[in-house]
């Protein structure tokens, strides 16, 4: 099956991306304190490069996160590749053999402040739908690294359109 192509042009200066990627064969290998610790550390290090991770959740086999990359980044591919490499190192330290990741990832550019809230609700309710918890709030592998806001020019153009 042919893979979907990324948009060539993005008319948002500094978009917030909703990103999801999964483990190879949907192996349940991510819900572990050392993997979550490596994830949080990687995200804090990303701040030094003006990459901001907002809310995130690591479930046993997918990761969902919201991320804002510095301009002129067109897509999060290089950063996701680095994140997968970092988490693979943590997995190897836990004696989890490779391969760890499905190829590629899903990303979606958020278009409004409402969609940020909607995506966060979707992300955390996945832990409930998966039967991991009855209420998402105690799930230990979720949180917010950095509060995110959508691009000001996007909000202005949305307001002008209404």
Indicate whether 1 belongs to any domain.
no
For the entire predicted model, the pTM comes to 0.84
**What pLDDT is attached to residue 162?**
35
Q: Which residue's entry shows tokens 């402040």?
A: 113
Q: Per-10-residue mean pLDDT for the chain, 162 residues long?
A: 48 81 97 97 96 96 94 84 98 97 93 82 91 90 89 41 36
39 domain-assigned: yes
The encoded tokens of residue 19 equal 């990103």
Inside any domain, residue 37: yes
Total number of domains constituting the chain: 1
User: How many degrees, rounded to 5, is the angle at CA 23 between CA 22 and CA 28?
Assistant: 110
Q: Counting every residue, how long is the chain?
A: 162
Task: CATH number of the domain at 139, please.
Answer: 3.30.70.1290
Per-residue model confidence (pLDDT) at position 159:
36
Which pLDDT does position 151 carry in this prediction? 57
Residue at 76 is within a domain = yes
Residue 116 confidence (pLDDT): 86
Assigned domain for 3 exists: no
What pLDDT was estimated at residue 161? 37
Question: Domain for residue 112, yes or no?
Answer: yes
Cβ neighbour number for residue 127 with a 10 Å cutoff: 24
pLDDT of residue 115: 82
29's CB contacts (< 8 A; 6+ apart) are: 23, 35, 60, 61, 91, 94, 96, 100
Position 99 scores a pLDDT of: 97
Report how far residue 36's alpha carbon sits from residue 90's, in angstroms, rounded to the nearest whole number: 9
Rounded to whole angstroms, the Cα distance separating 19 from 101 reads: 14
Q: Domain limits at 79?
A: 16-161
Q: What is the pLDDT of residue 73?
A: 73
Residue 42, helix vs strand vs coil: helix
pLDDT of residue 145: 94
Task: Give a yes or no: residue 4 inside a domain.
Answer: no
């Amino acid at each position: 099956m042919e893979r979907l192509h990324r948009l060539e042009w993005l008319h948002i200066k500094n978009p917030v991306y909703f990103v999801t990627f999964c483990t190879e064969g949907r192996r349940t290998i991510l819900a572990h304190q050392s993997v979550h610790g490596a994830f949080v550390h990687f995200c804090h290090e990303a701040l030094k490069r003006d990459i901001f991770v907002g809310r995130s959740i690591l479930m046993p086999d997918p990761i969902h996160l919201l991320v804002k990359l510095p301009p002129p980044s067109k897509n999060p591919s290089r950063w996701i590749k680095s994140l997968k490499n970092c988490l693979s190192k943590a997995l190897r330290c836990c004696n989890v053999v490779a391969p760890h990741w499905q190829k590629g990832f899903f990303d979606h550019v958020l278009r409004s402040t409402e969609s940020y809230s909607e995506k966060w609700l979707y992300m955390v309710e996945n832990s409930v739908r998966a039967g991991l918890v009855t209420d998402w709030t105690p799930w230990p592998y979720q949180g917010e690294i950095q509060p995110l806001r959508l691009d000001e020019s996007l909000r202005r153009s949305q307001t002008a359109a209404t």
